Amino acid sequence: MKLQRNGRSKALAIGAMALVGSLSLAACGSDDNADPKASGSAGPSAAAIACGKAGQLLGAGSTAQGSAIDVWKVAYGNACTGSTITYSGGGSGAGVQQFNQGKVAFAGTDSALKPAEVDASKAVCKTGQGINLPLVAGLISIIYNVNGVDNLVLDGPTLAAVFDSKITKWNDPAIAKLNPTAKLPDADIQTVHRSDDSGTTENFTKYLSKASAGAWTYAPAKTWAGKGGQSANLSAGVSAQVKAVPNSISYAELSYAQTNNLKSAAIATGASKPVEATAANAATTFAKAKIAGTGSDLALTLDYATKEEGSYPLVLVTYEVVCDKGNNAETLETLKSFLTYTVSDAGQQAIAPKGYVPLPKELGDKVKAAVTALA
C-alpha cells in the first residue's frame, strides 16, 4: 500500500507542477461571483455537459467553495434546462451534519470526514457510506487591514502568537523583524476568527500546529480555540469584519480576499524568500499531496510545514461528501452529472479566475472514476 501511495504522490506532483506556469494569472482574475459570463468567459456549451434528470439538487456546507459553486451552478443550469443546483453555505460542520441527516445530496467540507462522521453517514447511505471527493483546491489568505502596510510578511510562530493574543501590537519586535522596511503602527492588533464550526479554521490551525514550532498549543479543530479576538460567521463575515475594522487580521480563502479587495500577507516558511498567496504557489504545494483515503475515498494529506521554494503552505481542499452507495435514487443521476461537470477540465478552468487551483490531472481522473461508480 505504501508503494502505491508513493506512486500516486509522484503522479500528483507531475500533474500539479504542470499547472504552476499557467496559474500565475488565475489568482488575479475577476471577483464577480455570479454568472461566469460576467467574468469574460462564455462558459461551457450545453454539449459540454451531459445533463442528468431535471429537478433540484441540494447541497450545503463549506463557504470556501462558495464562489466555485456560484460559477458551476449557473453554468450547469444554463446547459441543463429544468435543473437547479441549490447550495447553502453554513460552514463545513453544518454541511456534514445536514448530509448525515439526509437533508442534502452532497455536503462541502474543507476537512475530510472523521471516523465518527463516516459511521453516522451509514444511516443515510444505507448500503454504503460517506466518502470524500476533492473537487475544489485553494488556499487560505492571511487577510489584513493596516493602513500604510502593503507587503506584510508573517510566519508560523508569529501568527500563532498573534491569534492567541500573545502578540497584541502591530509594531511588536517579532513582526518588525519580519518587516524591517514597513512602517508598522503602534496600534492594537484586532484578530478575527470564525464563530461557526469551519473546515477553514481546522486547516488554518493544522498549519499553526505544524509550522509554529510549538507556539500553537491547541489541537487542530473546526471550532476556534485561541484566546481573545473578535468572531464573525462564515468566510464572508470575517472578510467583511477585516474590511471594516482598522488594524485587523483574519484568515479566509483567496476568493474572499479578492472579492473584498483585501491584502494578503506573504508567509516566511524557511525558503529563501517569503511566499506570496497565489494559486501558482499553492499548486506547488499540491504537487506534494498524498492520497490518504482508501478505495473510492480520496482524502488527501497536505504538507502545511513545507519549506520548498515557492510553495505556499496554507492550502486547503474542499471535499464533496456523497454516498459511495445508497444515494437517493431520485437525485443520483443529476448528482453524478453535476459532479462530472465540476471535475471536468471545463469545470476546473471555469473557477481558476476566482483564485482556485485546478486539480492535477491524475487526481481529477480518480475523482471522475469515483463519480462514475456512485450508486
Tens of pLDDT, residues 224-256:
999 999 999 999 999 999 999 999 999 999 989
The CATH number for 140-281, chosen from 1.10.600.10, 3.20.20.70, 3.90.470.10, 3.40.190.10, is 3.40.190.10
Strands 248-253, 230-232: pairing is unpaired
Tell me the CATH architecture of domain 2-138+324-372.
3-Layer(aba) Sandwich (3.40)
Task: Give domain limits for the chain.
Answer: 2-138+324-372, 140-281
> Do the domains 140-281 and 2-138+324-372 match in fold?
yes
pLDDT band at 291 (very low <50, low <70, confident <90, very high): very high
Distance between CA 349 and CA 48 in Å, rounded? 13
Q: In this model, does residue 164 exceed pLDDT 50?
A: yes
63 contacts 131 by C-beta, under 8 angstroms: no
Q: Which residue has the higher pLDDT, 212 or 52?
A: 212
Tell if the pTM clears 0.85, that is, is over it: no
Residue carrying C-alpha cell 490531472: 361
pLDDT at 286: 87
Give the model confidence (pLDDT) of 33-63 as tens digits.
333 333 333 345 444 788 988 889 999 999 9
Q: What is the pLDDT of residue 287?
A: 80
